[in-house]
Structure 1
Amino acid sequence: MLNKARFLLILLITYAHGYAQITNKNELEAYKSAYNAYLWGFPMVTLGLSIEEFVQNPERAKFNNFAIIQSSSKQKTTSNEDIVYSKAYLDLKDTPLLITLPVNSLKYYSLTFTDAFSGIFEVFSSLKNISKEKAILIVGPDWKGEIPKGVKKVIKSPTNLAWVEGKVSILDKLEMAESKKLLESIKISEVGKKDNAKTWTDRHSFPKLKTSGSPTEQALIMDWKSYFSYISQILKENPLPDYQKKYAMDFEDLGIFPGKDFEDAKVNNKKQKGIKQGFTDAIELLKTEAPRQEDYNKNGWTYNVSEGKWGNKYTKNAASAYNGFSQTASEEIMKYKTTLDNNKEKLLGAQKYKLTLKKAQLPQTKAFWTINVLQVDKQIYENAKGKYGIGSKSKGLKFNKDGSLTIYLQVEPPKGLETNWVPLPTENFELVFKVYTPGEMVYSGEWAPPAIENVK
């Protein structure tokens, strides 16, 4: 069932509430512009804040270098469905980047490339590397040059600023060392960079903030001048896609001009009440709706079918950024989440549950599927058993006589069925079901996992 009607109702109510607070015509126009600019710019602002946090952390890599991140070391403010992954911010203004790939790896990996406006523009995975490429080249929107010898795959980023996440699937502790080694083998090198080329930090001047917390938390309490300044810094070197150019023209009265620094002098003092109210209402909408950003709800599982490719759905983009950019391209990984059982009660580790996939219900996939458990802090449940989930490639799965598969979810393993068991924390939890390289029935949104059955 689509949740769009509910979302549009909330949007209309929030918008109408703000309008009711303002009667001056100039302030009303400023309110509308600020409201829309806040949602449109939220991914840019949180990206800028994320970069500032990332490059200032001595434990993390600099631009154009991968950092390996584990869930236990990650700030626990956003959902993290991967116990270990890699991340790199890419500066493509003055140099293309060569990414070397794992050689002869039998383990699945994927590289998801996202532009400055939080749109996924490429997913490269081991399953797509049919020709066994040893390296790929990623270039900026204006790049013109020679492709290095031996490189066949060239990825063009629509923006000079981009970021990439490397992901693997880990279901138990025994896979950890191998997975980290695989991620560490993926390297980035700059091709033909000039010695006098300025770094990202040298070319940009973000306002100094007196706040602390995650990028999302800081963006939510930022004053409007700092907020618009962050947007302007991101826009300086990153061309807007055609479908956004006309939309962005509405924000010139707020001092936002693509390609230029923020011009606060352009903002009339009489408009500031409208701007502040627009900010307040946009923040309220995000806080209310971002946790419910999935469009579909079936059998208690929520999911999207076009994740990471929202286009001009700016509130969807903002919601994704609010949730920590935990998006994946649906054609590569179809993702389902639930916190409810078949009685629509909250999942609780003190209970026992099971999930039965009938033979005809097993998801269509060209690769595999997995189920992981997230704790209340939205992190993978790391437990003493060293078992983080289960999947179609798990060893020793026991199928029922009719070809169906039953997964047992409880704190302690059921006797004789340990291979079909997923450990649970004692408190509330969330389940994440992922289908890698899904088939048409899954990718279209028609298929969803069956409901989680509470075993009374």
Structure 2
Amino acid sequence: MEHHDNLLGTLACDAVRYTLPLYEMARMRAATCPRRDGAGVFAGDGPDTTLRWINTVTHVRTLLGPQHRQVVTPNNDTLYTNAWLDLSGGPLLLDVPDCRGRYYVLGLLDAYTNPFGYIGTRTTGTQGGTWLLHGPAWRGEVPAGATPLPCPTNAVWIIGRILADGEADLPGAHALQDGIRLRRPDGTSAATVFDAGMQAGERPADPDRYAAVVTRMLRENPPPAAEAELVRSFAPAGIGSNAPLTGAQRAALATALTQVDAELAAPRVSALGGGWFLPVEIRTSFGTHYALRAEVARNYIGALGVEEAMYLMADCDGDGLPLDGRRQYELVFPRQGLPQVGAFWSLTMYRKSDCMLVENPLQRYSLGDRSPALRPAPDGSLRIVLGAQPPSENALAGNWLPAPAEPFYVALRLYVPGTTHLERTFRYPPIRRMKEAS
């Protein structure tokens, strides 16, 4: 009996590692699919309903600041555009206008969180176009003027990021957002009511709810053929079966959910030197790295592949000591050692305790290659000062990134990173603690 329990426990852990991304995608869909359509019509009849509008594009129209607390480690560079698709009823047409040279990306994730496709300046250029998004089973004729974009699953999440250089640049970014539209091939509206099957705040803790959610996701979004047998093997643990959980399955799954969550809570990171690390390193698919896929789904869901964007973090100085805004630090990029990007780079400040942007008198939350106040030194190097107090040198006022008077971390975002970053030959300068004024 004990041997059987051990086998069931191991199987339940394997099943959770494989299926956790499906659960997290379902949870994010419930959280971000709108309850009301563009005309203000509710999908359901009350606040407790799980009905949502799907196949509709929604936009965040402002750059995120300290007052926005929906997501952790938010970027302060781009506006977000969001759409969840259900392709089970047939393909959809996605129209994108000419971006007029503005950087943008629409990243596409399948139900398993693989970032399988990109529409944007890096991959499809600046002129826009029309794409036919279709699920794996669809066979048909592609409408004239449309480019087919096959999707591995019928559930797709489109996460768009559109560059905006501050408040004055918002009208141009809004115009690009307004031109991104979904429609059916016959020209009718793509929007439809969809039962998300759960509420936004449901965490994967209850084994019965977890099994029900991922079993539905597996049914609606079958795994690749090469993984079908593996998924069938999860049935004895109650995953993929429509039968109610037995007492043994419920106990094993409850333990597995707790155990796997603890495993994934301390994500592995890729050290880059100088105290910098890369939390997510994925291109277009996780392949069979199921534990890594689950880890990213739990901690960084929605991350783009590194060819589009790299997100580097530092929460310690070059000596390995935690960064704290009560001290003052400098980050110096040598003249020939600035970040090499095809789009832009930025360095953003966050409070360690809540992973949020920090209010400051300058309302300056990031610095980067588009910051008009940022000045290089006479030798061409670029020195950025970090700390709660401004630098004593007036010449560095525009190079100050204000920190809270408490522990902090920074994120260096590289959009369309160059070869030296992708091949790991770029040398990232350490953040150095500056000497205290005497």
Q: Give how far 1:336 is off.
A: 0.5
Contact 2:99 2:126 in 1 (8 A): no
Percent identity of paired positions between Structure 1 and Structure 2:
23
Looking at structure 1, the residues matched to 319 and 107 of structure 2 have their Cα atoms a distance apart, in angstroms, of 36
Q: Deviations over 1:114-172 (max 9, x none)?
A: 00001000122223333723332222112222323322x32111000010111134564
* TM-score of the two chains, using structure 2 as the length reference: 0.84
Q: In structure 2, what residue type is equivalent to 1:452?
A: I
Partner of 1:371: 347
Alignment of 1:171-186 (within 5 A): 172-186=166-180
- In structure 2, do the counterparts of structure 1 residues 116 and 270 end up closer, same or farther at CA, with 3 Å as the change threshold? closer
Q: 1:341 aligns with which of 297, 301, 317?
A: 317
Alignment of 1:308-319 (within 5 A): 309-319=285-295
Contact 2:204 2:257 in 1 (8 A): no
Partner of 2:231: 248
Q: 1:166 aligns with which of 160, 165, 173?
A: 160
Q: 2:371 aligns with which of 385, 391, 394?
A: 394
- In structure 2, do the counterparts of structure 1 residues 197 and 369 end up closer, same or farther at CA, with 3 Å as the change threshold? closer
Looking at structure 2, the residues matched to 318 and 246 of structure 1 have their Cα atoms a distance apart, in angstroms, of 19
Q: Give how far 1:308 is off.
A: 6.1
More strand per residue = 2
Q: Deviations over 1:391-447 (max 9, x none)?
A: 223335432233222122234365123333323333322211122212222112332
Looking at structure 1, the residues matched to 321 and 214 of structure 2 have their Cα atoms a distance apart, in angstroms, of 42
Looking at structure 2, the residues matched to 74 and 163 of structure 1 have their Cα atoms a distance apart, in angstroms, of 22
Q: Deviations over 1:251-271 (max 9, x none)?
A: 0212333xxx6222xx55445
Partner of 2:11: 33
After superposition, the CA RMSD in angstroms is 3.0
Q: Give how far 1:366 is off.
A: 2.5
Contact 2:106 2:118 in 1 (8 A): yes
Q: Give how far 1:311 is off.
A: 1.9
Greater RCO, CA 8 A, separation 6+: 1
Contact 2:341 2:416 in 1 (8 A): yes
Alignment of 1:44-443 (within 5 A): 44-55=22-33, 57-58=35-36, 62-69=53-60, 71=64, 76=70, 78-82=72-76, 84-130=79-125, 132-151=127-146, 153-170=147-164, 172-192=166-186, 199-201=193-195, 206=197, 215=201, 218-221=202-205, 223-257=206-240, 262-264=242-244, 268-287=246-265, 289=266, 292-303=267-278, 304-306=280-282, 309-376=285-352, 377-381=354-358, 383-395=360-372, 397-411=374-388, 412=390, 414-443=393-422
- In structure 2, do the counterparts of structure 1 residues 440 and 419 end up closer, same or farther at CA, with 3 Å as the change threshold? same
Looking at structure 1, the residues matched to 414 and 397 of structure 2 have their Cα atoms a distance apart, in angstroms, of 23
Partner of 1:20: none
Partner of 1:9: none
- In structure 2, do the counterparts of structure 1 residues 164 and 74 end up closer, same or farther at CA, with 3 Å as the change threshold? farther
Looking at structure 2, the residues matched to 347 and 181 of structure 1 have their Cα atoms a distance apart, in angstroms, of 40
Q: Give how far 1:234 is off.
A: 0.7
- In structure 2, do the counterparts of structure 1 residues 393 and 113 end up closer, same or farther at CA, with 3 Å as the change threshold? same
Q: Give how far 1:53 is off.
A: 2.9
Looking at structure 1, the residues matched to 99 and 253 of structure 2 have their Cα atoms a distance apart, in angstroms, of 55
Secondary structure of the residue aligned to 2:182 is strand
Partner of 2:45: none
Secondary structure of the residue aligned to 1:341 is coil
Specify every segment of 5 or more residues in structure 2 that has no aligned partner in the other structure, as ranges: 39-51
Specify every segment of 5 or more residues in structure 1 that has no aligned partner in the other structure, as ranges: 1-22
Looking at structure 1, the residues matched to 382 and 160 of structure 2 have their Cα atoms a distance apart, in angstroms, of 30
Q: Deviations over 1:338-370 (max 9, x none)?
A: 111123222222322221111232233233322
Q: In structure 1, what residue type is equivalent to 2:363?
A: G
Secondary structure of the residue aligned to 1:89 is strand
Q: Give how far 1:58 is off.
A: 4.3
- In structure 2, do the counterparts of structure 1 residues 159 and 326 end up closer, same or farther at CA, with 3 Å as the change threshold? closer
- In structure 2, do the counterparts of structure 1 residues 245 and 404 end up closer, same or farther at CA, with 3 Å as the change threshold? same
Secondary structure of the residue aligned to 1:67 is strand
Secondary structure of the residue aligned to 1:437 is strand
Secondary structure of the residue aligned to 1:31 is helix
Q: Deviations over 1:44-99 (max 9, x none)?
A: 11211222233464499831122223646765464433564121111111132222
Secondary structure of the residue aligned to 2:54 is coil
Secondary structure of the residue aligned to 1:450 is coil
Q: In structure 1, what residue type is equivalent to 2:381?
A: S
Q: In structure 2, what residue type is equivalent to 1:219?
A: R
- In structure 2, do the counterparts of structure 1 residues 113 and 198 end up closer, same or farther at CA, with 3 Å as the change threshold? closer
Contact 2:23 2:214 in 1 (8 A): yes
Q: Deviations over 1:214-254 (max 9, x none)?
A: 65xx3242x21211111111112212123432321220212
- In structure 2, do the counterparts of structure 1 residues 199 and 143 end up closer, same or farther at CA, with 3 Å as the change threshold? farther
